[in-house]
Amino acid sequence: MSTDLFSVKGRVALVTGASRGLGKVFAQTLAAHGATVVLSSRRESDLRPVADAIAKAGGKADIAPFDVQDESAAVAAIKAIPGRHGRLDILVNNAGIVLRKMAVDTGTDEFRNVLETNITGSFVVAREAGRIMLQQDYGRIVNLASVMSVVGRASVAAYVASKHAIVGMTKTLAAEFGPNVTVNAIAPGYMLTEITEALQKNREFSELLERRTAARRWGRPEDLSGALMLLSSDASAYITGHTLVVDGGLTTVLAGA
């Protein structure tokens, strides 16, 4: 199989939540493989070091700061991308937050805030990127799901609800946007990023995770690079509506326990 199938050289990619964690690694990975990457998060000051690092490594990066909860700002920023770069080929819909509280202690506004960011914000970004991709008759949308899209866990009700919703949205957008715009999702397991710092410090949880994961370790952001390149490139031309779980075997082992 030709390696050109996995190429993103010359493509233009938007990565939300690109200032840190998985989004930062996704942006760096796409840039390293030849894509021009438009970095987004709420604050330009957080994005500038990522853009500078990509440029220093020989890649191409631009900055388009917006809050995914601010619909008008998101719409304007995404509409501007083809004017600046000629097109928009890839969306990595990564922005998200987590709230760790038991359901009985979670306020309704707190619950709504998580859903507004993780699912409503993701929908707005995918919708606007989809408009552009449908006009150019090509696109790759990669939504960020989670192992919490396929299992449940105490203390993260809003997060679990939002990530289950991502899977449903992915399927529906795939049905609407085909045949040449694909919509898929990556469902990472527990990754060594800022969002899981509290869990990493919990020795009991960390040891349980390693026992229950076939890979016997936490995931690293770079473990998602292969899935990202597959779903962002022409290699996934006949894959759409799919959620690819990348969790070291965690959900498989749990399902068989």
Q: Catalytic amino acids?
A: 159
- Of residues 251, 29, 39, 9, the one with CA closest to residue 145: 251
- Asked whether 29 and 37 are in contact (CB, 8 A), the reply is no
Neighbour-count burial for 58-74, b at 16+ CB within 10 Å, e otherwise: ebebbbbbbebbebeeb
Question: In this structure, what token pair is assigned to residue 189?
Answer: 């397991």
Q: What phi and psi values does residue 188 have, to the nearest 5 degrees? A: -70, 150
Q: What phi and psi values does residue 159 have, to the nearest 5 degrees? A: -65, -45
Tell me how far apart the alpha carbons of residues 200 and 197 are, in angstroms, rounded to a whole number.
5
Size of the chain, expressed as the number of residues it contains: 257
- Asked whether 145 and 246 are in contact (CB, 8 A), the reply is no
